[in-house]
Amino acid sequence: MNTTSRTISGIVAATALLGGAMVATAGPAAAASYHCTTSKHSVDNPAYGGVYADNFDFSVQLCAKRSSGNIYTYAKISWDGPAWFVDGPSEFDAARFHLQTKKSVSGPDKVVKWANYTGIKTRLEHGDYKGNGSYTTGVLKYAAGSGRYLADGFLQLDWDKDGKGYRNTTFSASPTV
């Protein structure tokens, strides 16, 4: 066998070996995918009664997946806010997204894990130059038994100067997994 044939044979063998390794590692990563539902709500600032538009138009995607005996849930929140309000750090006294992992049961679904994500407040008060922005929560992980599970959640806004505390805005839950 001449040198050129040995070189080509070596390249073919190495390519086959690496190609097989890539195929072998691609399987598990593609095994589970998130199932999501997106819903929208417009929220008015109750403390403002001026002539400029002051609504925040929220779009929330709630997602859940099952993988290796665990349930993973997260939320992605995006909004179209009022442009005149950009970098207005006094719009909210507090804000958070309350994410829940629920077990689907007959009657009200049972909350099995939850977390409050307060990092959304800073994002809301410092959107882009048009008042828009987005925030993605962390991922909740729950060791699941049998049954169906889902992601649910709601936005809690405590508007500045209205004296009412948190006001909840609910969104549609993810499909069950």
Residue 148 lies in a domain: yes
Residues 25 and 88 in one domain: no
Span 16-59, pLDDT tens digits: 444 444 334 343 344 589 999 999 999 998 877 788 888 999 99
User: What pLDDT score was predicted for residue 18?
Assistant: 43
Element housing 25 (H / E): helix 3-29
Residue 175 lies in a domain: no
Coil, strand, or helix at residue 84?
helix
For the chain, how big is the Rg over CA atoms in Å? 24
Tell me the residue range of the domain where 48 lies: 33-170
Under the banding of pLDDT at 50, 70 and 90, the label for residue 98 is: very high
Average pLDDT over residues 77-100: 86
Is the Cβ–Cβ distance between 57 and 171 less than 8 Å?
no
DSSP assignment of 109-174: PEEEEEEEETTHHHHHHT--TTSEEEEE---EEEE--SS-EEEEEEEEEEETTS----EEEE-PPP
Does the pLDDT of residue 5 top 70, yes or no?
no
Residues 96 and 11 in one domain: no
Span 99-141, pLDDT tens digits: 999 999 999 999 999 999 999 999 998 888 888 999 999 999 9
Coil, strand, or helix at residue 78?
strand
Does the pLDDT of residue 69 top 80, yes or no?
yes
Domain of residue 81, CATH code: 2.60.40
Average pLDDT over residues 129-156: 96
Residues 37 and 26 in one domain: no
Residues 18 and 102 in one domain: no
Tokens of 176: 């069950």
Q: How far is CA 126 from CA 80, 92, 123, 135, 136, in A?
A: 12, 12, 5, 12, 15
**How many structural domains are present in the chain?**
2
Residue 177 lies in a domain: no
User: 68 or 91: which carries more pLDDT confidence?
Assistant: 68
Residues 79 and 17 in one domain: no
User: From CA 91, how far away is CA 89, in angstroms rounded?
Assistant: 6
Tokens of 145: 């038994």
Does the pLDDT of residue 162 top 60, yes or no?
yes
Tell me the percentage of the chain whose pLDDT exceeds 90: 62
Residues 68 and 92 in one domain: yes
Is the Cβ–Cβ distance between 124 and 95 less than 8 Å?
yes
Residues 19 and 40 in one domain: no
User: From CA 56, how far away is CA 124, in angstroms rounded?
Assistant: 9
Residues 61 and 113 in one domain: yes
User: 123 or 91: which carries more pLDDT confidence?
Assistant: 123
Residue 72 lies in a domain: yes
